[in-house]
Each structure stands twice: as C-alpha cells, then as structure tokens.
Amino acid sequence: MKGRGLGVWAALTLVFLHAPLLVLVLFSFNSSRFTVWEGFSFTWYQAALADPQLAEGLLNSIVIAAFASVIATVIGTLAAYGMWKRPATWLAGTLYLSLLTPEIVTGVSLLALFQWTFRYLNLHLGLYTVIAAHVAFSVAYVMIVVSARLRQYDRSLEEAAMDLGATEWSAFRRVTLPYLAPAVAAAALLALVVSFDDYVITSLVAGVDSETLPMVVYAMARRGVSPILNAVSAFVVVVFGALIVASQRLQES
Amino acid sequence: MTLRSWSLLPVRLVATVLLGAPLGIVLVYSLLTRGDYGGVEFPWTAESFTRLLDPLYLGILWRSLWIATSATVICALAGFPLALFIARSGRWRNLWLQLVLLPFWTSFLVRTYAWIFILRDTGLVNTTLLSLGLIHKPLPLLYNDGAVLAGLVYNYLPFFVLPLYATLERLDGALPEAAADLGAPPWRTLWRVTLPLSKPGIVAGSVLVFVPCLGAYLTPDLLGGGKTVMLGNLVQNQFTSARDWPFGAAVSMVVLLVSALLLAAFLRHRTAQELL
Amino acid sequence: MNRRAFLLTAPALAGCATDARPRLNVFNWSAYIDPAMLQRFERERGVRIRYGTYESNEEMLARVMGGNSGWDVVFPTHNRLTPMAAHGLLAALDHTRLPALRNLGSRFQSPVWDKTLAWAIPYMWNGTGIAYNGAQVSNIDSWGALWRDDLKGRLTMLDDPEDVLGACLLKLGLPFSSTEPAHLAKARAEAIAQKVNLRAYLNADVRDQLVSGDVLAAQLWSTTTAQARAGNPQLRFAWPSEGFPLYCDCAAILKESRHPELAHEFLDFLLRPEVAAANARVAATATANGVGQHSIDPVLYPPDDIYARGFWPPPLPPAAQRLRDRIWTEIKSA
C-alpha cells in the first residue's frame, strides 16, 4: 500500500515537471495565436525561421557555448586532476562558491571587472567577454563532474604506468585521461548546456556582437507572449533533451 | 615542471581573475559613494551597509528568506518521496532519473515562460476550467506569490532530488529491513531510520535550492508581475534604474555572505563533500 | 596554425572579421526601425550595420556607461540626454554633416530639452496614457479613473517609477516631476491604495493581455496601444485630462564611436522623409519628422488641443532620483 502511495506521488511530481514543457511544445503547433486549439500548423516555426534576429542569436549562442565549453572543460579537468593529486581547499571553496553565487551578483561583478580594466586597455565588450564569463561560471561544474569520477579511480594505475617508465604526462594522457573520458565528455556537454542557457550573466556582459538566443527570447517575451516563442522553446527542448540523453549515455558507458 | 604542479595554474588564474577579482571590485564599490548618474565616486563610506538596516530593506531580506525557505520546504516535501521512489525502483532507476533531469536541462527562460502560458487568464488552466464549466470567470493565478513559488519550485526541484537520491541510493538497505523485521511500522521506519540517515542529502539539496532562490530575480519579475521585491530584484534595480551602484554592491555582498556561510556549514558535513 | 592560436582568433573570425567594409554599430529599441531601411543604407554607402536592440533606457545605459560598449549610435529618451552628456558619453553633433535636419517637424526644431540639437536628433515620440477595452469598461478619460473598483484585478500600471509616481501626482493635481518629499509621500499613498486593484506592473508585455481581454485597462504608451489595436479594434486610448508625459527617443552618437562620420551619415539618412515614414510605419509610432509623417491616427498624433495638455518631463536631479527610488521600493514591497 505504502509503495503504491510513493509511486503515485512520484508520478504526480513527474507530471508537474513535464506537463508545462509538453503543453508548450504542443501549442507550438497550434494554428491560432491564442490558447485555443484550432488546428495543426507549422506557422510559428516558419515565422521563427524567418526571423533574422533569432538566427543570429542562435549562431552567437552556438559559437559562445562551443568555445566556452571547450575552454572550461580543459581547465576544469586539469583542476580536478590537480586537486585529486594534492587537495586545494581554498581553491575548491572558491569554485563551490561560484556555483552558489546568485547569477545577478556574478554578472554585475564581471561587468564591473570588464568596465574597469577595459577602460585602460581600450577594448570593447563583446564575444570575448561573454566567453570569459561563461568559462568563469562553468569551470566549477566541469570540476565537480570530473572529480566524481576521479574519486573512483585507483591511484595505483597511474603509479604503475610511471613505474614502467612512463613520464607523468604520458601516464596522464595514456592511462588517466582515457579512464576519465566519459566524465570529461559529460562535463563538456554540461558546460555547453549551462552556457547555452544563461541569460542573466550574458545580458550584463554582452557587447556588440554577442546577442545570444536567450537574450532574443527574453526580448520577445517582454514584448508580449507569442507562439513563435513556443516554437523556439520546443526547438530548444528537443535539442537539449537529445544532448542530455547523449551525455547520460556517455557517462554510463 | 611536472603536470601536477601546473595543472592547477589555469584554474587558479580563472579563480583569481574571473571569480576573485570581480568580487573584490564589488566589495570596493560597496564602500564607495554613489555617482550622480551611476558609477562610483570617492570618498570611502560604509553608508550603503548602514542603509541596509533600514526596516524597508530588512523587510525585503526577510521576505526573500521566507520565500526561499518556503520553496525549499516544498521541494523537500515533493522531492523526498520522489527520490525515495527512484532509489527503490531497481533497474528503472536511470530512466526515472533522466526524466527528472530532462526539464532541468531545458532553458531556464523557457521553463519560466511555460508557466506564464499556463497560468494567465486565457492560459491553459483557466481555459480548461472555464470550458468544463467549473468556474465562471478566470482565477487570478498569475502575478502573485503563489506563481513565484510555483516557478521557483519547478526550476529548482531537480537540485533537491539529485543529491538526496545519491544518499538514499548508497543507504544500506539492510537497516530499514532490520527495523521492519523488528516490527516497526513502515512510517516509523521512515521517520526513525531512513530520514536520519539521509540527512546529508537533505542538507545538500536544501542548500542547492535555497541559495539560488534567495538571489532569484527573473522568476519574481516574470511570474510575480513586479508586485514583489526580492533581494535579486533589489540588486538589479540598484544597478539599473536607481543608478546606485554602491548600494547594489552592498546588497550583493550580503547575499554572497549568506551563501558562503551556508556553503561553509554544508562543507563541514564530510558526507556532503562526497556528494558534490 | 597551431591549436592555441586557433582558439585565440576564432571568436574574432566568427564574430566580425569576415568582411572588410566599415561597420556601424546601432543600438536601438526593439521593433523601432524598418529592416529594409538598414539594408538600403548598407547598399548606398557600401558599409555594414550591426543592429542590436534593447528594451529600456536603463538596459542601454548600463551597457554604454563604461565607455567601451562598442556601440556607435544609440536612441536615448529625451530626458536621458543631459545626464548622458554630463557623464561624457555623447559626442556633440556636427550640424554641417546633417543637412536633412530641416525635415524635422516644427515642434522638434528646437525642443525644450536640447534647444540647439547639440546632442541628438529627435527620432520618434509617444506619450503615456491609458489603454482600455471600450467594449467592457465605461469611458476612461483621466488618471483618476484608474482607481475605479470595476477595474479590480484587470488593471496594470507600467513597471516604471517615473510614470507610476507621475500618474499618482497628476491625479492629485501635483506636478508630474515633483521633487517635493511631501508631494511624493502623497503619491506613495495613492500608489499603495491602488495596488490592491492592480494585476501587475507590466510594460510592453501587457499588449497581448490587452488584446486577449485578460487586462481591461492599462497605463501604457500610445505606441504600444496603437500596435495592440491591430489585434483588437475594441481597444481605445485616453490622453488623460490631468495632463500626460510625452517622450521623444532621440538618435545620438556615442563619444566612444570609432566611426563618427559614418554615424552622422546614418543620422542624416534617418532624417530623409521617406526613410522616416517607413520606420514610423513599421514601428507603428509617431515620427518627429515633419515631412515624413505617415498617418493622422489620433492615438499617435493627438490633435493640437490635446497635445497642449502634454509635457516633456525633464531629467530628475540625483537627490530626487534617490528619494523616488526609495518610495518605489516601498510601493513595490507594500
């Protein structure tokens, strides 16, 4: 009896988590712009495709997320490895804190940094600043995912490789890194998703060439709810869902 | 130079330049005087911090703490049974876990926007209830604290479920069984055995939900219709329309301090460290 | 090229370096220009325009305040010009490069906020009034009507301290831009009394809810109302009897601009009658261009006797700004 109660509760919670997105996706195919179902249509997808700002935002988001996630993955993986070799409490604390800092505070502080230093460097806010900001907040995610896998790693494997004459670097590259590969790939996807999704921090440090998809979506939502948003959202849901399933597969293998 | 010695260099650079330095600048800002049209000016002053003691701002702090606490409690009530169910569901575990995670990985804006779509007068809930004849005029579902809470819980529930699941999964199944063998009724086993043992997961989940809720600004803005002010809105407002950067910086420092204290308390649980 | 060099240069490549033509970066309100006009300028001058949009003056100011935003041309509202100029953000206009200035409407040749047009060119203008659903509520013609009980739960005000406090002050017969603490305290009481009837503080987001009938009355800009009426002909717009603020968004060149000549050319281009008309038509708003006026819609262009009740709010002094912000926070957390 109790087990069934638990199942019902779990099912209800899952419905709570999924219903809003399902509804959103469903109504992206509605031919009416209102919440009344009038018939199936691709109108809003066509409208979304025809919008140059959306296309540009998507392109910027992809470029930014690709660079930020690659850089953050390299730095975060090395960090996890370094801390596994030799604990660094303060560094770890700083990274955990960066995960818990409210986005608005992170964004404002990075904007302050860029405005302050760029005044002397004659540089502009732009893609670089957004990429730097995204690296800053995604390194901690990468470090945590990779650290989790390192905890299950047998130190003696690397030592054995070194006993057999491998340098520390080649032991890392040939033995440790292959073991970490699934976690590194999962971390990279995580960084990609986190970067692609961010609005608050990006909107603060963005410059001329860095209007991202979430910024365009937010501007559209502010101008009024439109089914084009449903279409964009549905697209994002499907792409992200696929990415996440892929990342889960990688982590399991 | 060995790998172990330089592997931490890049992250130290990021932590210093992109995480530490900006917070240092915000701290400096919080101790300066407001410029007339934004920005900061000398002299040094602690006025922004003393201003925080104003009952108006203490009220906002209190309100944010209250909303963040409510959201955390609701997440706990909804999340504990879900995590327990997943931990006990054997080979289906991964499927359930992915189902919990999936919405979390879709865009934050999209998730919040979905709630507007559902809750507005001509939204899904009201349209459905009206067409069923259950109500005769739309219920005011959007733009109140309830909508803000729904949005927060929706956005952060997976943050609670995941660490809790990790704890419950590692929990020795023999203990609850022993309790049951000794004649304890299921609810009592839950209360006296499972719940105390899952404390690290509950603590981790609570911190992960509470802290972002405390600093939330988009959710109260979009779902609350601008009728409520939380700390995040206060910060955002100071840096934009009010053009009072020192005060915005001071509020940021307070939010950060609360987060850091919670983090420190949390990291003292050794088992909690394992979870992150 | 080694991998590291690639990492360093690729964002630049992806971002801009694909084209050698000079580039003008224009930062404007969303939905405030005809995209075809941008293409026309690009074709005529052999340049590229990078066009970005914002939703509020504050958003724009936060970005350009540091003096290294990268934008060349921005469109601040008239009462932000003096503070921006005082902060050293704006470049003075060179009128010899702007022969088309003569096309400006007579009201905008020497406006109160910038008598010599030293900093910016009036671009589009609109006023804050009341949008309401003529089929479902009785006539509204004053700010005072927004405290009526029949609007309970179906009323929104703008999410803007200046406009909300201003409406309260006008209802009380006090000046819209008052800096008197006593006046503002009375306005606060009015705003708090109104809050129980209020659905939300919304800006342009209210448009769809007006169209769908969720919201029956809203403090709103004439431009947004004109756009909403396309979706629901029942919507009406009231220019309140107590008076109302008018806002003019002006094209200005930032001091940080690396292409001031090109920016001047762009401003002069915007002043051409046919360009101004096309932009005003797409934005569904009123142009400051006298020759390029495209419509006689009274929501966009109020007749002279109504226009006479309007005024252009001056910039608020910093001290008043601070007091108003505090009061706004009090209203919001009431």
On whether both C220 and C138 belong to a single domain, the answer is yes
Residues in B 143-162 with any Cβ partner in C closer than 8 A: 143
Tell me how far apart the alpha carbons of residues B184 and A111 are, in angstroms, rounded to a whole number.
Answer: 58
Tell me how far apart the alpha carbons of residues B27 and A108 are, in angstroms, rounded to a whole number.
Answer: 12
Using CB atoms, pick whichever of A94, A101, A241 lies closest to residue B15: A94
Q: What is the pLDDT of residues C260-313, one digit of tens each?
A: 999 999 999 999 999 999 999 888 889 999 887 777 788 899 999 999 999 999
Instruction: Reply yes or no on whether the pLDDT at A219 is more than 90.
Output: no
Q: Residue C315 domain-assigned?
A: yes
Half-sphere exposure of C88 (CA within 13 A, CB side): 4
Tell me how far apart the alpha carbons of residues B262 and B203 are, in angstroms, rounded to a whole number.
Answer: 10
Q: Are A130 and A206 in contact (CB under 8 A)?
A: yes
Instruction: Please give the average per-residue pLDDT across A151-158, as a whole number.
Output: 81
Q: In which residue are the tokens 């549905």 written?
A: A234
Q: For residue C16, what pLDDT is reported? A: 46
SS3 C27: strand
A93 contacts: CB under 8 Å, gap ≥ 6: B263, B267
Q: Cα–Cα distances in Å, from B112 out to A236, B108, C12, C47?
A: 14, 6, 33, 40
CB-based contact C65 B38, cutoff 8 Å: yes
User: A77: which 2 tokens?
Assistant: 């993986």
pLDDT, averaged across chain C: 89
φ/ψ of C318, rounded to 5, equals -55, -40
On whether both C25 and C136 belong to a single domain, the answer is no
Q: Cα–Cα distances in Å, from B85 out to A6, B99, B101, B153, C35?
A: 6, 13, 15, 19, 55
Instruction: Reply yes or no on whether the pLDDT at C4 is more than 60.
Output: no
Q: Does A136 touch chain C (CB under 8 A)?
A: no
Instruction: Reply yes or no on whether the pLDDT at C19 is more than 80.
Output: no
On whether both C251 and C236 belong to a single domain, the answer is no
Determine the residue among C30, C38, C63, C215 to mutate to test chain A binding: the one whose Cβ has the most chain A Cβ atoms within 10 Å: C63
pLDDT higher at C240 or A39: C240
In angstroms, what is the C-alpha Rg of chain C?
21
pLDDT higher at B72 or A112: B72
CB-based contact A127 C12, cutoff 8 Å: yes
On whether both C208 and C318 belong to a single domain, the answer is yes
Instruction: Give the A:B interface size as CB pairs under 8 Å.
Output: 247
Beta bridge partners, C236, equal: C132
Q: How confident is the model at residue C9 (pLDDT cuts 50, 70, 90)?
A: very low
Q: For residue B239, what pLDDT is reported? A: 81
Tell me how far apart the alpha carbons of residues B223 and B144 are, in angstroms, rounded to a whole number.
Answer: 7
On whether both C273 and C284 belong to a single domain, the answer is yes
Q: Are C285 and C301 in contact (CB under 8 A)?
A: no
Instruction: Reply yes or no on whether the pLDDT at A34 is more than 70.
Output: no
Q: Please tell me whether the overall predicted TM-score, pTM, comes out greater than 0.90 for this model.
A: no
Q: Does A88 touch chain B (CB under 8 A)?
A: yes
Tell me how far apart the alpha carbons of residues A14 and A19 are, in angstroms, rounded to a whole number.
Answer: 8
Question: How many C-beta atoms lie closer than 10 Å to residue B133's C-beta?
Answer: 7
Supply angle C-alpha B260, B261, B265, rounded to 5: 115
B43 upstream amide cis, omega within 30 of 0: yes
Beta strands in chain C (DSSP E): 23-29, 48-54, 73-74, 120-133, 155-157, 198-201, 217-221, 235-238, 244-253, 286-287, 310-311
Q: Are C106 and C290 in contact (CB under 8 A)?
A: yes
Per CB-CB distance under 8 Å, the chain A contacts of B107 are: 196-197, 214, 217, 233, 236-237, 240
Give C91's DSSP letter: P
C138 contacts: CB under 8 Å, gap ≥ 6: C150
Q: Considering only A146-155, B252-261, C25-34, which range has the smallest mean pLDDT?
A: A146-155
Question: Which of A241, A136, A101, A183 is CA-nearest to residue B208?
Answer: A101
Distance from CA of A241 to the nearest CA of B (A): 6
Q: Are B192 and B179 in contact (CB under 8 A)?
A: yes
Q: What is the pLDDT of residues C156-209, one digit of tens each?
A: 999 989 999 999 999 999 999 999 999 999 999 999 999 999 999 998 888 888
Q: For residue A171, what pLDDT is reported? A: 85
Residues in A 2-21 with any Cβ partner in C closer than 8 A: none
Q: How confident is the model at residue A3 (pLDDT cuts 50, 70, 90)?
A: low
Q: For residue C93, what pLDDT is reported? A: 96
Q: Does A98 touch chain B (CB under 8 A)?
A: yes
On whether both C98 and C22 belong to a single domain, the answer is yes
On whether both C328 and C237 belong to a single domain, the answer is yes
Using CB atoms, pick whichever of A3, A101, A132 lies closest to residue B256: A101
Instruction: Reply yes or no on whether the pLDDT at A23 is more than 90.
Output: no
Q: For residue C2, what pLDDT is reported? A: 47
Instruction: Please give the average per-residue pLDDT across C96-125, as a whole number.
Output: 94
Cα–chain-centroid distance for residue C89?
Answer: 19
Tell me how far apart the alpha carbons of residues A131 and A128 are, in angstroms, rounded to a whole number.
Answer: 5
User: A141: which 2 tokens?
Assistant: 């995610």
Using CB atoms, pick whichever of B36, B140, B237 lies closest to residue C318: B36
Per CB-CB distance under 8 Å, the chain B contacts of A132 are: 18
Instruction: Give the A:C interface size as CB pairs under 8 Å.
Output: 84
Per CB-CB distance under 8 Å, the chain A contacts of B259 are: 97, 100-102
On whether both C103 and C198 belong to a single domain, the answer is no
Instruction: Reply yes or no on whether the pLDDT at C149 is more than 50.
Output: yes
Positions in chain B short of pLDDT 50: 276
Tell me how far apart the alpha carbons of residues C294 and C275 are, in angstroms, rounded to a whole number.
Answer: 11
pLDDT higher at B206 or A5: B206
**What domains appear along chain B, each with residue ranges and CATH number?**
58-275 (1.10.3720.10)
Looking at this protein, which amino acid is placed at residue A31?
S
What CATH number is attached to the domain comprising C92? 3.40.190.10
Q: Considering only A93-107, A164-178, B182-196, which range has the smallest mean pLDDT?
A: B182-196
On whether both C194 and C294 belong to a single domain, the answer is no
C186 contacts: CB under 8 Å, gap ≥ 6: C168, C169, C172, C174
Q: Are strands C217-221 and B40-41 parallel, antiparallel or unpaired?
A: unpaired
Per CB-CB distance under 8 Å, the chain A contacts of C212 are: 34
Tell me how far apart the alpha carbons of residues A194 and A144 are, in angstroms, rounded to a whole number.
Answer: 14
On whether both C320 and C197 belong to a single domain, the answer is yes
pLDDT higher at A199 or B204: A199
On whether both C120 and C254 belong to a single domain, the answer is yes
On whether both C64 and C210 belong to a single domain, the answer is no
Question: How many C-beta atoms lie closer than 10 Å to residue C152's C-beta?
Answer: 12
Number of domains in chain C: 2
Determine the residue among A32, A97, A169, A244 to mutate to test chain B binding: the one whose Cβ has the most chain B Cβ atoms within 10 Å: A97
Looking at this protein, which amino acid is placed at residue A83?
M
Distance from CA of B115 to the nearest CA of A (A): 7
Beta bridge partners, C252, equal: C74, C120
In angstroms, how far is the first alpha carbon of chain A from the final one? 36
Q: Residue C25 domain-assigned?
A: yes
Q: How confident is the model at residue C120 (pLDDT cuts 50, 70, 90)?
A: very high
Q: Residue C2 domain-assigned?
A: no
Distance from CA of B55 to the nearest CA of A (A): 23
**Residue-range definition of the domain harbouring residue C67:** 16-125+246-301
